Structure 1
Amino acid sequence: MSKTVCIVGAGPSGLVAAKSLLHDVPRGTFVVTIFDSQPRLGGLWPLQKDDHGGLIHPLMVANQSKHTVQFSDLAWPEDAPELPQAWQVGRYLDRYYKAYCLAAELCLETSVEKTEQTHSSGWRVWTRSKDGAVEERSFDYLLIASGYFGKPAVPGPSVIPEHPEIPVIHSSKYRNLKDLLGEGKPKGGKILVVGGQMSGVEIAGTIATHLSSIMYSPGTSPIPNPEKYSIHHVIQKPVWVMPLFLSPKASSPVPPFLPLDLASYNLANRPHPLTNTQGHITEESAIRASSLYEIALGTNQSIYSPVLAVTHKDHANPQYLAVSDNYTEFVRSGLIAITQGRLNKLSGHDATISPAQEKIDDIAAVVLATGFKASDSISFLPQDVLETLSLVPGDLNNTVALAFHGTYHPYIPNLGFVGFYRSQYWGVMEMQARFVTTLWNAGGSMSVRLPQVLKQALDKDTSIKRTIALRDDPRASQFPMGDYAWLMQEFATALDMECRDHLSAMPVLPPAGNEMNVLTPARYPSKRLNEFQRLEVTESLKQTEATVWAAISSGKFVAKAVFRSLLGEWKLERKLVSKLSSHPSGHFSGTAKFLLREGTRDGREAEFDKIVKEGSDVGMEYLYIEEGDFKADNGFTFRATRRYIWRYNEKKDELTVWFAKTDDQKRADYLFHKVEFSVPEDDNQKSWKATAGHMCIKDYYDVKYEFCFKAVNLINWNLAYTVNGPQKDYTIDGTYTR
């Protein structure tokens, strides 16, 4: 006889749970109903570019690649970006629902108000529809997939007044500067960002990107005097800020680049069997992690700001991570200022930061990146159940204590959880769903039908004890359940699953000389695969392996890494040697600024319109401004300036340089050249090299670049021209340093 299951939440956790209940056991074993209060599925992930009603900006770029933000048996479209935007993740979930979950009853705009355990070991569930109608239904099982990010956590009235004089919003509600500031203030001011972990760094970098774009884009600004605004970020401790692309060969002078998750989840770099690296962090493991992060970045971050530097005295403490492409360079440029401490009080336009009681004045708006209260996501559970789960409402890491890595409690066998923890890696969500399905299909943790390997795993499990111990542990890690690879191993062992091999040989990397062994959800496919699923698993593995090989062997993503690292100001020294008296030789000394902004249409109208029509990202670009003094060999000195537009096309992985219009120097005119990177000829090469060419009437520009990296950061680069033709005959050699 079929068992009925109520799933609360139609986000990725709820959908993968439904899929597992419907497909990973014989058909008809479970009858599934999914409730979600939103008018669409997807949970946090919006389905449209203009869907601003949720907790995630639809244009936010995921900080994990499509190879990790996926389930094992549904590949992304081949032309999907490596790092999808939030609305594209929502579209993926819509495809997943249509592929696997249509047999479930989906009840949108229906919130679960109350639940109650029945004497027959089931659940009564009360729901409320959008028109206010309350309905009571009975189920055999209740599965919580309502999301760990339930309600924004904000400071109380002792810190933030109930009716502040300036705009105060949670980071999840930020969409653009116009909505944040309203009409804005002619005198500008500081945008105060509070919170220094993942969301704080991300939102500070996002606001800085928006402000930079408004300042340096052509046309009318949506807020007055944008140049008078800045961002002030309050953090409690230095945090390592990783860009979206890292190098698996960070020590190489010509490092290749991969999405950070593919570089990080290389199992060849860890001894097997894996041991948990998260939870309680010893001094030894903290020091080791700090060393690894410094190697990955090539700096302790002091090059950006002394406040952001992770110094020797910090190495023995648990290390914290954040992800942002632009944050650190905006800190270096001064657009983002940092204060270490905690917001003590907001009063009018001023804030007090403890413990030093430092004052920050002239605040125009406040954005609170202060996390979420997960307890609101389970407020419908009975009080006795919450007590059994050891609920601590204010604990943002370990709200409830659950067995076997956040999936169930042995005292409540008909209650399950999927995705109810921070750091929700999609592969782990899928494993949790498989685990709960297997457990319930066997009749529970005490059933004689429980597979022996699963029983052994449950007997050894200490998850509840560990969770409670970490609540008061001063050495608890940033993400107590953050070791993705270890969690995948533990679930696979319990479920008697094997990690599937790569389809073919993978690149070999130093120092150990091992083949890369990149973990993705597709490495752990279900045991019950139909033909469609087999094809999807294979396609997913092919995409990952193609991405890795392209990066390691052909320099894919180097253009992206260069583009990211150009942001900000450079010292420029350029020598010009001319063979014609009409063009004097001499030396230029000055600065070059790369000013980030949203991609513009000028000069590429047809391509731009096609990108917009397809719903793709128009990307970012730089307004390049160089200014300085040119001293000719004849002794004459004059002020000189140039402007270009630098663009990066993610779909083509292409870096291009465009002339600026002479009558409006914020606008692009026409293409100057495309930067063509060449694969290193041997191991002795000391920089990434690239070439370009441009025919100007009858004069040809032969362009050569050299980009010198230290891990992920450009430390200097060279741009040389040889110009030949009937009108010109000269060489230019310019060196850019920070």
Structure 2
Amino acid sequence: MSKTVCIVGAGPSGLVAAKSLLHDVPKDTFEVTIVDSQPRLGGLWPSQRSDDGGLIHPLMVANQSKHTVQFSDLAWPQDAPELPQAWQVGQYLDRYYKAYCLAAELCLETHVEKTENTHPGWRVWTRSKDGALEERSFDYLLIASGYFGKPAVPGLSVIPEHPEIPVIHSSKYRTLEALLGQDKVKGGKILVVGGQMSGVEIAGTIATHLSSATHSPGTSPILNPEKYSVHHLIRKPVWVAPTLLSPKARSLVPPFLPLDLGSYNLAHRPHPFTNTHGHITEESAICTSSRYEIALGTNQSIYSPALAITHKNNTDPQFLTVSDTYTEFVRSRLIAVSQGKLEKLSGHEATISPTQETVDDIAAVVLATGFKASDSISFLPPEVLELLSLSPGDLNNTVALGFHGTYHPYVPNLGFVGFYRSQYWGVMEMQARFVTQLWNSGGPESLTLPQGIRQALKNDTSIERTLALREDPRASQFPMGDYLWLMQEFAAALEMEREGHLSVMPTLSPAGNEMNILTPARYPSKRLNEFQQPEVTNSLKQAEATIWAGISAGKFIAKAVFRSLLGEWKLERELASKLPSHPSGHFSGTAKFFLREGTRDGREAEFDSIVENGGRIGMEYLYIEEGDFKASNGFTFRATRRYIWRYNEDKDELSVWFAKTDDQKRADYLFHKVEFIVPKDDNEKSWKATAGHMCIKDYYDVKYDFRFKAVNLLDWNLAYTVNGPNKDYTIDGTYTRQKC
């Protein structure tokens, strides 16, 4: 007879748990019911662009690639972007549900009100959208309701009950217009409180929206966007990584890959893996700080002293965040950073402790202060919460669970999947498999437990470790454990072998080891059917193709260059003309790249096609250079130019467009596309690119040199030769960063 299981939550954790219970053991072993309070699948992840009622903006770009944001046995579509948007992740989950979970009973818009442990089963009371209360009995209860339960916000002593300005949690931010209104406020600081993942991300997002509102053509969504700025309040400096990192950070011609692919390179770690998270020693913190500095090519002082991580503070546990725009917006001063804790908000002024510094002229506050996971399990009975050592105020270690967040020995009929920070999808899948095998074998005390699980439970110290970390001032950013180590531990318990890649992978100097990237598809189920096997193979091939394209074919270099252009550059340019009608001379001035949403001008048909087919337009820059040109004849005059620089996400293509003469925020027509030249070896000194353009009767032969230090452009050259009936000159310009 089937055992009944109630899964609370229809997000990725709940769906992968249902799939494992339905497919990783003999058919009809378990009968599964999935309950979720939302009207759709996906949990945090919306499945439509217009679905902005949840905790994640549907257009938010995932900070890990599709090769990690997936389960082992469902590949992404071939044309899916390397870094999908939130709504695309939701669509992936919808496909996953249809592929594996249709046998489960799905109860959406159904809230779990309370539960009772009846030993050995559970009674579960749910309330449907029409208000009907239903009581049902199950053999097992599985919590997949998510760690991000309810926004954690400061109390009334910090934020008044009725503040004079808008105050929202970062999960609710969508647009400037919704935050500020069109007519009420006409400038000021948007205070972002919180310096970890969501704080850096939302500060960068708001700054992007302000930049776009200020520098885009047409009517701005808010009044006077140029009069706003972001003030970011952090406890201490954190490392900020872009979404692309280089596996050869010291190379002068670094290749690029999505940051997770390089981070999950098994070849970089001695085997067997040891856990790098939890309690962080000073020595470990220094080593981590050194690795981050090498990967980023800076200790972040180039952006602002407030972001610098120096020998004075690198003995603290190191925290990592992800944003493509944040650091350059800090350097360009659209984001100001200060350290401290929000002590009190009064009117338009905030007091910061311990310095008692005040931040005035605040137009709105966005709280990136995390989530209370305890709200996701409030339906559990008090005696069970006590056994789980519930600590509602501890946002990192809310409950103490056995074997890496999967169960508790005193409540063997209760399981957990995905109830921890940093919900790497591979670990969620492993947790689901572990709980399934544990229950299929009769529980932790069963004599029929497989040897791997028996040994894992015998050696497990997860509960003691969690309790110790609650009071540990040197606890890591993600306490449960690092990804590679967790995957290793689950694989050993489940007696699973890691799948090998299908082809020879690139090697990296100096050790010359092949790249060995861990993705969920490296650990396929032992019970693959005729549908699953091709999906596993396809996932592995997609990852391999991406890695080879990034290492050997220059994929992602266009995006890496585009990302690093943001902000202000010092420009020195020489013009040498062979015709008296065009005098030679020297230009000295600045070049500024203002980030904005991609616009339709000049590429109307392509733009409409991308939108219609669900693609991403990508971002663009309004480029403005201003300075003085001193001609060889001694005459000096003020000069300015404007272009539109565009990055096409779908094509991984960088292009430069002329600006209209009558509306210089609008693109007119294509100047050229930047064609990058893949270097023959690591002895090259810079990434080179070429372009060509015929302008009526004049031909522009364009050459670029981009010089990187790790992920950042140090400087770059743009030179072109112009030949035609009435033109014969060369221009050679060098762009260097303005100091912060």
Which TM-score bucket, shorter chain as reference? over 0.9
SS class of match (2:403): helix
Partner of 1:710: 709
In 1: Cα distance, 2:43 partner to 2:601 partner: 37
Alignment of 1:16-165 (within 5 A): 16-119=16-119, 121-165=120-164
Q: What SS does structure 1 have at the residue aligned with 2:733?
A: strand
Deviation at 1:725, TM superposition (A): 1.3
Name the counterpart of 1:513.
512
Q: TM-score, normalised by structure 1?
A: 0.99
Give the letter for the 1:652 counterpart.
K
Pairs within 5 Å for 1:223-262 = 223-262=222-261
- 1:70-105: CA deviations, max 9, x gaps? 000000000000000000000000000000000000
Q: Deviations over 1:196-218 (max 9, x none)?
A: 00000000000000010000000
2: CA distance between counterparts of 1:410 and 1:392? 18
- C-alpha deviation, 1:697, in angstroms: 1.1
Instruction: Report the Cα distance in structure 2 between the residues aligned to 1:311 and 1:538, rounded to whole angstroms.
Output: 45
Deviation readout 1:275-309 (Å, 9 max, x if unpaired): 00000001111000000000000000000000000
Q: What is the identity, as a one-letter code, of the residue corresponding to 1:71?
A: F
Match for residue 363 of structure 1? 362
Deviation, 1:186, is: 5.4
Find the counterpart in structure 1 of residue 6 from structure 2.
6
Aligned residues: 737
Q: Secondary structure at the match of 1:290?
A: helix
For the 8 Å contact 2:585–2:629, the answer to whether it is kept is yes
Equivalent pair of 1:595/1:624 in contact (CA under 8 Å): yes
> For residues 184 and 364 of structure 1, what CA distance do their matches in structure 2 show?
12
| 1:527-584 deviation line (CA, Å, top 9, x unaligned) | 0000110000000000000000001001110000000000000000000000000000
* Code of the aligned partner of 1:602: D
Task: Measure the CA separation in 2 of the matches of 1:345 and 1:61.
Answer: 33
Is the contact made by 2:275 and 2:481 (CA closer than 8 Å) also made in structure 1?
no
In structure 2, how many angstroms separate the alpha carbons of the residues matched to 1:342 and 1:678? 48
Secondary structure of the residue aligned to 1:31 is strand
Q: How far 1:375 sits from its partner (Å)?
A: 0.2
Q: One-letter code of the match for 1:97?
A: Y
The residue number in structure 2 matching 1:392 is 391
Deviation at 1:684, TM superposition (A): 1.8
Aligned to 1:477: 476
Residue 735 in structure 1 maps to residue 728 in structure 2: no
**Corresponding residue for 1:298?**
297
CA contact (8 A) 2:615 2:650 kept: no
The aligned residue for residue 578 of structure 2 is 579
Secondary structure in structure 2 of the residue aligned to 1:612 = helix
Retained in 2: the 8 A contact 1:20–1:434? Answer: yes
Give deviations 1:208-261, integer Å, cap 9, x for gaps.
000100000000011111000000000000000000000000000000000000
Q: 1:184: how far off?
A: 4.6
Superposed, 1:643-722 pairs within 5 Å as 643-722=642-721
- CA shift, 1:108, in A, is 0.2
Give the 5 Å matches for 1:378-527.
378-527=377-526
Partner of 2:533: 534
Aligned: 1:620 with 2:622: no
**Distance apart, 1:421 and its partner CA:** 0.2
In structure 2, C-alpha distance between the alignment counterparts of 1:215 and 1:473, rounded to whole Å: 45
What is the distance in 2 between the residues matched to 1:139 and 1:156? 39
1:630–1:639 Cα contact (<8 Å) kept = yes
Note the C-alpha offset of 1:682: 3.1
**Counterpart-to-counterpart distance in 2, 1:206 and 1:87:** 17
The question of whether the paired residues in 2 share the 8 Å contact of 1:184 and 1:223 is answered with: yes
2:404 match: secondary structure: helix
Aligned mates of 2:75, 2:381 — CA distance in 1:
39
Distance in 1 (CA, whole Å) between partners of 2:559 and 2:735 is 18
Find the residue that maps to 1:403 and give its secondary structure: coil
In 1, distance between residues paired with 2:693 and 2:640? Answer: 20
**Aligned counterpart, 1:269:** 268
Q: Aligned partners of 2:21 and 2:683: how far apart in 1?
A: 55
Separation in 1 of the partners of 2:452 and 2:118?
Answer: 31
- 1:545 and 2:551 are equivalent in the alignment: no
8 Å CA contact 1:423, 1:482 repeated in 2: no
Mapped to 1, the partners of 2:415 and 2:508 lie a distance apart of: 41
Shift of 1:482: 4.2
Q: CA deviation at 1:313?
A: 1.0
The answer on whether the counterparts of 1:65 and 1:259 sit within 8 Å (CA) in structure 2 is yes
Give, in angstroms, the shift of residue 314 of structure 1.
1.1
C-alpha contact 1:186 1:225 (8 A) present in aligned 2: no
Identify if the C-alpha distance between structure 1 residues 644 and 357 changes in structure 2 by more than 3 Å, giving closer, same or farther: same
SS of equivalent residue, structure 1 residue 570: strand
> Is 1:176 the counterpart of 2:175 in the alignment?
yes
The one-letter code matched in structure 1 to 2:73 is D
- Measured against aligned partners, the alpha-carbon deviations of 1:616-644 in whole angstroms (never above 9, x if no partner) come to 21110000000000000000000000000
Distance 1:124 1:186, change over 3 A: closer
Q: Letter of the 1:337 partner, please give it.
A: A
Q: CA RMSD in A?
A: 0.6
- Measured in 2, the distance between the counterparts of 1:125 and 1:511 equals 58
Residue-by-residue CA offset, 1:595-615 (whole Å, 9 max, x unaligned): 000000000000000011011
Shift, 1:185, TM fit? 4.6
The letter for the 1-side match of 2:45 is W
Letter in 1 for 2:27: R
1:292 match: secondary structure: helix
Give the counterpart letter for 2:59 in structure 1.
Answer: L
| Structure 1 position 681, deviation (Å) | 2.4
Aligned runs of 1:635-646 on 2, under 5 Å? 635-646=634-645
Which segments of 5 or more consecutive residues in structure 2 lack a partner in the other structure?
Answer: none
Instruction: Give the structure 1 partner of residue 569 of structure 2.
Output: 570
Percent identity of paired positions between Structure 1 and Structure 2: 84
Q: Deviations over 1:357-382 (max 9, x none)?
A: 00000000000000000000000000
Distance across 2 between alignment mates of 1:216 and 1:502: 46
Q: Deviations over 1:161-189 (max 9, x none)?
A: 00000000000000000000012555400
Partner of 1:192: 191
What secondary structure does 1:736 align onto?
Answer: strand
User: Within 5 A, what are the aligned runs for 1:300-319?
Assistant: 300-319=299-318
2:284 is matched with 285
User: What CA distance in whole angstroms lies between the structure 1 residues aligned with 2:162 and 2:686?
Assistant: 56
The AA in structure 2 aligned to 1:694 is: H
Tell me the CA shift for residue 118 of structure 1. 1.1
Give the AA of the match of 2:586: H
Other-structure match for 2:588: 589
Cα offset for 1:444?
A: 0.4
**Distance in structure 1 (CA, Å) of the matches to 2:149 and 2:185:** 37
TM-score normalised by L of structure 2: 0.99
Counterpart CA distance in 2 for 1:613 and 1:482 is 42
Post-superposition Cα deviations, 1:250-274, rounded to whole Å, max 9, x if no partner, equal 0000000000000111110000000
Is the CA contact 2:185–2:363 (under 8 Å) kept in the aligned structure 1? no
CA distance in 2, matches of 1:654, 1:338: 33
| CA apart distance, 1:476 | 0.2
**Could you tell me how far apart the structure 1 residues matched to 2:168 and 2:313 are?**
31
Contact 1:243/1:260 (8 A) holds in 2? yes
**Aligned residue identity for 1:274:** F
Distance 1:696 1:681 in 2: 32
Q: How many Å apart are 1:457 and its aligned residue? A: 1.0
Structure 1 CA distance for aligned equivalents of residues 375 and 316 of structure 2? 31
SS at the partner of 2:15?
A: helix
The letter of the residue matching 1:636 is F
